[in-house]
Structure 1
Amino acid sequence: MGAGTALCAWAEEQAAAAGFSTIYLGVGVDNDQVRILYERSGYRPLGESVTPTYNYVDDAGVTQTGDRN
């Protein structure tokens, strides 16, 4: 079992122990290796796509907005 597969199994065990029956996760649209890992582990795409954004202060002290793409 690879590290990613083991981590998924551990997270699923923890969620089940906490009483959760459903897990949702996100993966970058360009991260094919992780998408394949999740699908091999039984996860299926929902068909939803979002671009998370965040704010940061640049070197000039100006607040900027970035995205994770």
Structure 2
Amino acid sequence: MQAIEFEIDINDEFIKIPNFEQLKNKHVKIILLYNEEENKNPRLPNIFYNPIIKTKYELFQREEIYSE
């Protein structure tokens, strides 16, 4: 088995593979490595994207807060 290593900045869902013609019609294994510390947009809990809106004040039940 041979290994090809390269670094690239991913801007969309496509990655250009160097020397693609040599790999055409062959089975390959792809491994993506990235540094989590560089993630500038951490995923927030769903409650931030879909807030619960109440018309009057009342206590939330645990099931209401954590349901998806």
TM-score normalised by structure 1 residue count: 0.25
The structure that is helix-richer by fraction is 1
More RCO (CA 8 Å, sep 6+): 2
The structure that is strand-richer by fraction is 1
